[in-house]
C-alpha cells in the first residue's frame, strides 16, 4: 500500500539575516510568477501556448538582464517551483476546474516559497535552506514520523507576521482503520454546528462572534491611520491580522478534533452537498455561514476518510431532508426555519435537525447500496419544496 504523504506545519523564528533572505525570496517568487503569467497571457492573446519548459527558458534569460539580475541573489529552486505552480494553474484552467490565473499582489498575496530536496538540507531534525548558513529555529510542537525525510519544504509568513515551515513527509502511521459498520448522518447548521442522526448536537462555537468587539475596535483604529506604508498603519494592520489569525486557528483546531473523532467512530458518513459559495451571497447570513466554515469541515472529513478507509457520501442539496418524516415518509408542504419541532400526520414528533440527519443517513445508505442518485421531490400537491439554502435565506 502506498504510504500517505502529510504536511507537518511548525512555527519558526528566523534571525534578522534569515528573515531578510526569505523576504527577498518571496519577492522574487512573486516577480517571476507575474512575469511568466504576463508572457503566457500575451501568448494566449496571440492564440499561442506557452508551457513550463518555455517559461523556464525565459527565467534563464531574465537572470542575464541587468534589470532582473537580482533574481540570481536567491535560490533558484523556489523560482522554478513557482513556474510549476503556474503550469498547474493553467492545467486546471484548461480543464475548466478553475478560473484564469491571477497576478500576485505585494500586499494581498500569500508570502511563500517552496523548496525541493535540492534546495534544503535536513539532518538530525535541523533544517537548513539554500543560501543560508544556519539552520532554522523551528519549534517542533509535534514529532515528525520516525526517520522522516521531507520531500518538499514550504516556508511562509502570514499577515500577522508569523513564520511557518511545512515539511511534506511520508507518514507510515496513517493506515486504514478496522471496519466497524457504524454509519451516521450529519446535518450542518448555524445554531448547532452539527446534528447527528444519533441525536447528538454539537454547539456552534461561533469563534468570530467571540472576538467581534475586539476585532471591530482594531479595525476602527486601523481606519483612522493615514494611508500609505507608515509604521503606525503597519502596526495597526498587524493587530487586525493577529485577531483574524486567532479566530482561524481556533476554528481550524476545533474542526480537526471534530472530524478526526467522526472518522474514527464511523465507517460511513453522510453529509449534504451544499453550495456554500452561493449561500454566502446572502449578506444577512454570510458572516455566520463563513464562521461556521462548512466547506472546510467537508474538506477535512473527505481527506481523513480517504486516509483511514472510510466512506463519505454527499446527498443532493435539493433532497427535502427537513420536511420528510423519517418514520412514515410523508413530505410536508412547507417548513419555515423558525419551526424547530413538528408533528407528522402519523403522530411522530420530530426535532427538525435530528429528523434531517436521519433522512440524510437513509438516503446516503440507499446511494451506497444501489448507486442511485438522490434527487428531490421538486413539488408537492400543496406547494413547492424548499431547500436548506432557501430556508437559511429566510432566517431572521
For 193-238, what is each residue's pLDDT tens digit? 999 999 899 999 999 999 999 999 999 999 999 887 789 999 999 9
Predicted TM-score (pTM) of the model is: 0.83
Q: What is residue 376's predicted lDDT score, i.e. its pLDDT?
A: 40
Question: CB within 8 A of 300, min separation 6: which ones?
Answer: 255, 256, 259
Q: Residue 390: is its pLDDT beyond 70? A: no
For the cut 90, the answer to whether the pLDDT of residue 247 exceeds it is: yes
Q: Does the active-site annotation cover 114? A: no
Q: Identify the band that residue 146 occupies on the pLDDT scale cut at 50, 70 and 90.
A: confident
> In sequence order, what are the beta bridge partners of 350?
342
Q: Average pLDDT for residues 289-298, to the nearest whole number?
A: 92
SS3 annotation, the chain:
CCCEEEEEEEEECCCHHHHHHHHHHHHHHHHHHHHHHHHHHHHHHCCCCCCHHHHHHHHHHHHCCCCCHHHHHCCHHHHHHHHHHHHHHHHHHHCCCCCCCCCCCCCCCCEEEEEEHHHEEEECCEEEECCCCCCCCEECCCCCCCCCCCCEEEEEECCCCCEEEEEEEEECCCCCCCCCCCEEEEEECCCEEEEECCCCEEECCCHHHHCHHHHHHHHHHHHCCCCCCCHHHHHHHHHHHHHHHHHHHHHHHHHHHHHHHHHHHCCEEEEECCCHHHHCCCCCCHHHHHHHCHHHHHHHHHHHHHHHCCEEEEECCCCCCCCECCCCCCECCCCCCCCCEEECCCCCEEEHHHHHHHHHHHHHHHHHHHCCCCCCCCEECCEECCCHHHHHHCCC
Give yes or no: 208 in active site.
Answer: no
pLDDT of residue 228: 79
Ranges 21-25, 37-41, 108-112, 333-337: which has the least confidence: 333-337
Q: What's the whole-number mean pLDDT along residues 315-341?
A: 79
Return the pLDDT at 371: 56
Dihedral over Cα of 329, 334, 340, 345: its sign: negative
Task: Please give the average per-residue pLDDT across 12-19, as a whole number.
Answer: 96
pLDDT band at residue 60 under the 50/70/90 scheme: very high
Please tell me the distance from the alpha carbon of residue 121 to that of residue 118, in angstroms, as a whole number: 8
Window from 12-21, 36-45, 326-335 with minimum mean pLDDT: 326-335
Average pLDDT in the chain = 88
Q: Is the pLDDT of residue 333 over 90?
A: no
Which of 34-38, 181-185, 230-234, 327-331 bottoms out in mean pLDDT, i.e. has the lowest? 327-331
CA dist 36 and 68 (Å) reads 13
pLDDT band at 1 (very low <50, low <70, confident <90, very high): low
Decide: residue 297, CB within 10 A, 0-12 exposed, 13-18 middle, 19+ buried: buried
Q: What is the pLDDT of residue 391?
A: 44
- Scored b (16 or more CB within 10 A) or e, 341-358 reads ebebeeeeebebbbbbbb
pLDDT at position 394 over 90:
no
C-alpha dihedral, 127 to 128 to 134 to 138, nearest 10°: -30
Task: Report the pLDDT averaged over residues 247-251.
Answer: 95
For each of the domains in the chain, give its residue range(s) and CATH number, in order of start. Answer: 4-171 (no CATH), 176-204+246-396 (3.30.420)
pLDDT at 69: 95
Give whole-number Cα distances, 345 to 10, 329, 351, in Å. Answer: 56, 10, 15
Calculate what percentage of the chain has a pLDDT beyond 90. Answer: 63
302 carries an active-site annotation: no
Q: Is residue 377 pLDDT above 80, yes or no?
A: no
Catalytic residue among 21, 114, 291, 353: 353
Q: Tell me phi and psi for residue 114, to 5 degrees.
A: -110, 130
Question: Choosing from 21, 114, 187, 291, which is the catalytic residue?
Answer: 187
Q: Which of 302, 308, 293 lies closest to 252, judged by CA?
A: 293
Give 355-376 pLDDT, tens digit per residue. 888 888 888 888 766 655 444 4
Given 21, 114, 208, 272, the catalytic residue: 272
* C-alpha to C-alpha distance for 394 and 245, rounded to whole angstroms: 31
Answer whether residue 381 shows pLDDT above 50. Answer: no
> What per-residue confidence (pLDDT) applies to 275?
84
Q: Could you read off the pLDDT of 156-185 as tens digits, one per residue?
A: 999 999 999 999 999 988 889 998 889 999
CA 387 to chain centre: 25
Amino acid at each position: 500500500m502506498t504510504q500517505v504523504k502529510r504536511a507537518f506545519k511548525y512555527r519558526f523564528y528566523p534571525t534578522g539575516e534569515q528573515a531578510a533572505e526569505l523576504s527577498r525570496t518571496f519577492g522574487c517568487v512573486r516577480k517571476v510568477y507575474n512575469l511568466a503569467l504576463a508572457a503566457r497571457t500575451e501568448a494566449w492573446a496571440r492564440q499561442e501556448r506557452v508551457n513550463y519548459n518555455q517559461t523556464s527558458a525565459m527565467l534563464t534569460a531574465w537572470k542575464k538582464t541587468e534589470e532582473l539580475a537580482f533574481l540570481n541573489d536567491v535560490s533558484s529552486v523556489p523560482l522554478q517551483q513557482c513556474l510549476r505552480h503556474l503550469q498547474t494553474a493553467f492545467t486546471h484552467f484548461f480543464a475548466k476546474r478553475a478560473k484564469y490565473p491571477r497576478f500576485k499582489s505585494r500586499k494581498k498575496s500569500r508570502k511563500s516559497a517552496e523548496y525541493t530536496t535540492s534546495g534544503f538540507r535536513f539532518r538530525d531534525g535541523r533544517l537548513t535552506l539554500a543560501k543560508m548558513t544556519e539552520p532554522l529555529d523551528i519549534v517542533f510542537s509535534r514529532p515528525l514520523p520516525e526517520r522522516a525525510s521531507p520531500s518538499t519544504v514550504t516556508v511562509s509568513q502570514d499577515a500577522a507576521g508569523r513564520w511557518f515551515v511545512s515539511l511534506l513527509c511520508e507518514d507510515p502511521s496513517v493506515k486504514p482503520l478496522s471496519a466497524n459498520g457504524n454509519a451516521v448522518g450529519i446535518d450542518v447548521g448555524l445554531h448547532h454546528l452539527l446534528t447527528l442522526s444519533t441525536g447528538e448536537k454539537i454547539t456552534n462555537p461561533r469563534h468570530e462572534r467571540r472576538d467581534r468587539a475586539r476585532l471591530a475596535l482594531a479595525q476602527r483604529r486601523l481606519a483612522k491611520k493615514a494611508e500609505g506604508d507608515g509604521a503606525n498603519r503597519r502596526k495597526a494592520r498587524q493587530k487586525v491580522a493577529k485577531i483574524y489569525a486567532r479566530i482561524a486557528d481556533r476554528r481550524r483546531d476545533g474542526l480537526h478534533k471534530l472530524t478526526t473523532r467522526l472518522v474514527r467512530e464511523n465507517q460511513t458518513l453522510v453529509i449534504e452537498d451544499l453550495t456554500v459559495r452561493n449561500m454566502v451571497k446572502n449578506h444577512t447570513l454570510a458572516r455566520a455561514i463563513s464562521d461556521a466554515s462548512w466547506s472546510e469541515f467537508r474538506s477535512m472529513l473527505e481527506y481523513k476518510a480517504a486516509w483511514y478507509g472510510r466512506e463519505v457520501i454527499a446527498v443532493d442539496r435539493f433532497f427535502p431532508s427537513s420536511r420528510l418524516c423519517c418514520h412514515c415518509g410523508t413530505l410536508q408542504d412547507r417548513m419555515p426555519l423558525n419551526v424547530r419541532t413538528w408533528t407528522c400526520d402519523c403522530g411522530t414528533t420530530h426535532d427538525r435537525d435530528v429528523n434531517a440527519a436521519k433522512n440524510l443517513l437513509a438516503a446516503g445508505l440507499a446511494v451506497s447500496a444501489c448507486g442511485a442518485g438522490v434527487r428531490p421531490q421538486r413539488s408537492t400537491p400543496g406547494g413547492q419544496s424548499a431547500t436548506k439554502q432557501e430556508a437559511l435565506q429566510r432566517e431572521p
